[in-house]
Amino acid sequence: MTAIVHELGIPVKSANWVRLLPGQNAKGEPILLATMGQDNGGFFVCDIDLKTGHCTQYASNVPSSNFPTAAYMNPSTGVLYVGGAYSGHLHRYDPNAPRQSRQLEDLGPIDPELCSFPCRIDEATDGSIYIGGYGGASLTRFDPATKQFTRHGRLDQTDQYLYPFCGKDGTVAAVVRVCFVHVVVFNPRTGEHKTVGPTINVNDAGKGSLDGSKLDLIRGVDGLLYIKSSSGNFRLSGMDAVPVEQVPDAEPAPALPDGTRAEFLDAQAQVYRRVQITPPNSSPRQLMLDWEGLGTSIYMVHAGFDGKLYGSSILPEHFFRCNPDGSDMIDLGQCSVSTGEAYSMGNLDGKIYIASYPGARLSIYDPSKPYNFGEEPGSNPRDIGRIDQVAFRPRAMLTGPAGKVWIGSVPDYGMWGGTLVHFDPKTEKIVSHRNIVQDASVIALTWLPKLGQILVGLGIQGGSGTTPRINSVPFVWWDPFADRATASDTLGFEHLEGVSALLTADDGNVYATVRARNKTEAGAATFTWELLLIDPAARRIISRNPFQPEDRSPVECGLLHGPNGAIYGATTMCIYRIPRGTTERQVIWRATNENTDEHLYAIPAVIGNRYYFNAKHRLRYLELPSK
Condensed to tens digits (0 to 9), the pLDDT of residues 140-159 reads 999 999 999 999 999 999 99
CA 14 – CA 55 distance, rounded (Å): 15
Neighbours of 58 (CB within 10 A): 19
For Cα atoms 226, 115, 241, give the angle at the middle one, nearest 5 degrees.
Answer: 20
Please report how many Cα atoms fall inside a 13 Å half-sphere around the Cα of residue 183, on the Cβ side. Answer: 31
CA 239 – CA 575 distance, rounded (Å): 57
Condensed to tens digits (0 to 9), the pLDDT of residues 413-432 reads 989 999 999 999 999 999 99
Tell me the one-letter amino acid at 109. Answer: P
CA dihedral sign of residues 103, 109, 111, 115: positive
What pLDDT, on a 0 to 100 scale, did the predictor assign at position 622? Answer: 95
Share of the chain above pLDDT 70, in %: 97
Closest CA to 453 of 410, 485, 415, 425: 485
Q: Is the pLDDT of residue 593 over 80?
A: no
CB 119 within 8 A of CB 130: no
CB 502 within 8 A of CB 491: no
What pLDDT, on a 0 to 100 scale, did the predictor assign at position 58? Answer: 98
CA 196 – CA 586 distance, rounded (Å): 59
Task: Write phi, then psi, for 278 (nearest 5 degrees).
Answer: -120, 100
Q: Is the pLDDT of residue 442 over 90?
A: yes
Q: Is the pLDDT of residue 161 over 70?
A: yes
CA 600 – CA 593 distance, rounded (Å): 12
- Identify the band that residue 262 occupies on the pLDDT scale cut at 50, 70 and 90: very high
CA 558 – CA 541 distance, rounded (Å): 20
Q: Is the pLDDT of residue 206 over 70?
A: no
- For residue 259, the SS3 value is coil
* Per-chain mean pLDDT for the chain: 94
Give the pLDDT mean for 457-483. 96
pTM of the model: 0.85
Q: Each residue of 286-303: b (16+ CB within 10 Å) or e? A: ebebebebebbbbbbbbb
Q: How far apart are the first and last CA of the chain?
A: 12
Q: Is the pLDDT of residue 209 over 50?
A: no
Q: Is the pLDDT of residue 506 over 50?
A: yes
Task: Write phi, then psi, for 475 (nearest 5 degrees).
Answer: -85, 150
Task: Write phi, then psi, for 65 (nearest 5 degrees).
Answer: -85, 70
CA dihedral sign of residues 548, 550, 556, 558: negative
Q: Is the pLDDT of residue 66 over 90?
A: yes
- For residue 302, the SS3 value is strand
CB 421 within 8 A of CB 388: yes
Q: Is 341 left (phi over 0), alpha (psi -120 to 50) or beta?
A: beta
Q: Is the pLDDT of residue 213 over 60?
A: no
CB 313 within 8 A of CB 320: yes
SS3 for 94-110 is CCCCCHHHCCEEEEEEC
- Identify the band that residue 598 occupies on the pLDDT scale cut at 50, 70 and 90: confident
Partners of 243 in the β-ladder: 234
Q: Which of the 8 DSSP states describes residue 207?
A: S
Q: Is the pLDDT of residue 224 over 50?
A: yes
Note the Cα 344 to chain centre separation in Å: 13
What pLDDT, on a 0 to 100 scale, did the predictor assign at position 212? Answer: 41
CB 549 within 8 A of CB 535: no
Closest CA to 28 of 276, 256, 263: 256
CA distances from 449 to 452, 488, 504 (A): 5, 18, 9
CA 537 – CA 524 distance, rounded (Å): 35
User: Which region among 101-115, 204-218, 372-386, 581-595 has the lowest average model confidence (pLDDT)?
Assistant: 204-218
Closest CA to 511 of 488, 490, 531, 538: 531
- Identify the band that residue 40 occupies on the pLDDT scale cut at 50, 70 and 90: confident
- Identify the band that residue 210 occupies on the pLDDT scale cut at 50, 70 and 90: very low
What pLDDT, on a 0 to 100 scale, did the predictor assign at position 592? Answer: 84
Please give the helix or strand (H or E) that residue 346 lies within, else none: strand 341-348
CA 447 – CA 542 distance, rounded (Å): 18
User: Which region among 35-39, 49-53, 596-600 has the lowest average model confidence (pLDDT)?
Assistant: 596-600
What pLDDT, on a 0 to 100 scale, did the predictor assign at position 203? Answer: 74
Sheet with strand 586-590: strands edge to edge: 560-561, 567-570, 574-578, 586-590
- Identify the band that residue 625 occupies on the pLDDT scale cut at 50, 70 and 90: confident
CA dihedral sign of residues 100, 289, 84, 159: positive
Instruction: Name, in order, each residue with C-beta under 8 angstroms of 6's C-beta and a sequence gap of 6 or more.
Output: 620, 621, 622, 623
CA dihedral sign of residues 88, 89, 94, 98: negative
Q: Is the pLDDT of residue 493 over 50?
A: yes
Condensed to tens digits (0 to 9), the pLDDT of residues 310-345 reads 999 998 999 999 999 999 999 999 999 998 999 999
CA distances from 577 to 384, 515, 583, 608 (A): 38, 20, 10, 15
Most confident option among 12-26, 191-205, 516-530: 12-26
Helices (DSSP H) in 56-205: which residue ranges? 202-205
Instruction: Name, in order, each residue with C-beta under 8 angstroms of 273's C-beta and a sequence gap of 6 or more.
Output: 266, 288, 289
CB 97 within 8 A of CB 105: no
Give the pLDDT mean for 159-172. 97
